Amino acid sequence: MAKVKYALISPTFKRPDEVTEFLASLEQLDYPKDQYQVILGDGTPGDELRPVLQEYFDTLPLQIYYEEFLPVSDARNRAAELADAEYFIFLDSDCIIPSTYLKGIDAFLSEYPDTTLFGGPDAASADFTDLQKAINFSMTSFLTTGGIRGGKASVTSYQPRGFNMGMSAALFKEVGGYDEEFVCGEDVELSLRLQKAGAISRFIPEAHVYHKRRATLKQFRRQVFRFGAARPLLAKAHPGNLKITHLFPTVFTLYRYASFLLFVLSLLQGNSLLAVPFLAFVGYLSAVFVEASRTENVKVAALAIRTTITMNAGYGMGFLRNYIEVYIKGNSRGIKL
């Protein structure tokens, strides 16, 4: 197959409904099919996913690399080996891709042709569940995470994430692709290596995807726990990468517990000053509710309080536990994830 402009690459593992929805959205791309490839790196046990996807070989320029129990970084690398494109774009299979996605990237790269690393935002589609919408708010709101970082002029700080992450194929090959030893945070680790190799990184607002994320609070907490645990490992591998903002979820969670204990003491001792930290915490959560209700219904806004607490608790505890493991106990591999 002759080289095309884009290779759309995704790791897959079970979840046939999710993957078929992802591929169905790619069928609707408003872009010439002879100018992109779709490549899946699949690790589904028993090769049970590929037979479900047969119809898409007729409607998409689709290839599948299969190896049982293939880890996520390995899946991305093996799929990339099949690609023959100018740019590799890594997407997650729990994303729905808008029809204008590639045209938006095309327009941006025409305006900023020196861009060699890029990504875009994730959003909640109107048909997502209330919980998915609340999770999306907590993960993307300025009030909860500072919002999506980077911008059209950003060339140093923006680090695309693996759910929506594009790059020059030549640069990807130059740095050796994903580090298969990194079990979590592998996308950020790759972004850091690419930037050290000279990548010019930019955020493309038009390149948004609808990201379904996790279906339950328990799954969401487990996911963000892993994100938090990855940070000390990233800091160890790339000194100077750890920022004060990475400490916020841990501080948030410890503050939540401490302020509640002080509130209880205020009731027992009749000292209203002890209640001030907890009331400030309640005020922050009220602000989250108000901000979420500007774009979502009351139920989603209420859920956003829970998802914001869950996000900070999961990430914060993951960060704290692995920081102790890596920097105090001296275990360079960290906790088991």
* pLDDT value at residue 222: 94
Percent of the chain with pLDDT over 70: 96
Q: How many residues does the chain have?
A: 337
3-state DSSP of 158-191: CCCCCCEEEEEHHHHHHHCCCCCCCCCCHHHHHH
Cα separation, 319 vs 314, in Å, equals: 9
Tens-place pLDDT, residues 135-167 = 999 988 888 887 654 444 444 468 888 899 999
307-321 per-position pLDDT tens digit: 999 999 999 999 999
Residue 328: CB atoms within 10 Å:
8
Q: What is the mean pLDDT of residues 186-190?
A: 94
Position 150 scores a pLDDT of 40
With a pLDDT cut of 90, the percent of the chain lying above it is 80
The reported pLDDT for the residue numbered 125 is 83
What pLDDT, on the 0 to 100 scale, is given for residue 147?
A: 60
Distance (Å) of CA 318 to CA 132, 216, 230: 22, 18, 8
Cβ atoms 207, 31 nearer than 8 A: no
Nearest to 47 by CA among 62, 80, 63, 69: 69
The sheet with strand 85-91 has its strands ordered as 62-66, 36-42, 4-12, 85-91, 164-168, 117-119, 201-203
What is the reported pLDDT for 151? 44
pLDDT interval class at 2 (50, 70, 90)? low
Q: Specify the pLDDT at position 240.
A: 84
Other CB atoms within a 10 A radius of the CB of residue 180 amount to 16
**Maximal CA-CA distance, the chain:** 77
- What's residue 158's pLDDT? 80
149: left (phi over 0), alpha (psi -120 to 50) or beta: beta
What is the mean pLDDT of the segment spanning 183-194? 92
Higher-pLDDT residue of 124 and 40 is: 40
Q: How many CA atoms lie within 13 A of 293 on its CB side?
A: 10
Q: Is the pLDDT of residue 11 over 70?
A: yes
Mean pLDDT of 221-227: 94
54 pLDDT above the threshold of 80: yes
Domain regions of the chain by residue span:
4-120+160-213, 244-328
Tokens for 269, please give them: 């001792």
Look at 61-75, 206-220, 278-292 and tell me which has the smallest mean pLDDT.
Answer: 206-220
Q: Which helix (H) or strand (E) holds 307?
A: helix 298-323
Q: What is the CATH code for 4-120+160-213?
A: 3.90.550.10
DSSP letter assigned to residue 324: I
Joined together, the tokens standing for residue 318 give: 């993951």
The confidence score (pLDDT) of residue 253 equals: 95
Q: What is the mean pLDDT of residues 84-112?
A: 96
Average pLDDT (252-257) is 96
Q: Is the dihedral of CA 110, 111, 116, 121 positive or negative?
A: negative
* pTM value surpassing 0.85: yes
- pLDDT, residue 149, reads 44
Q: How far is CA 35 from CA 32, 87, 137, in A?
A: 6, 11, 34
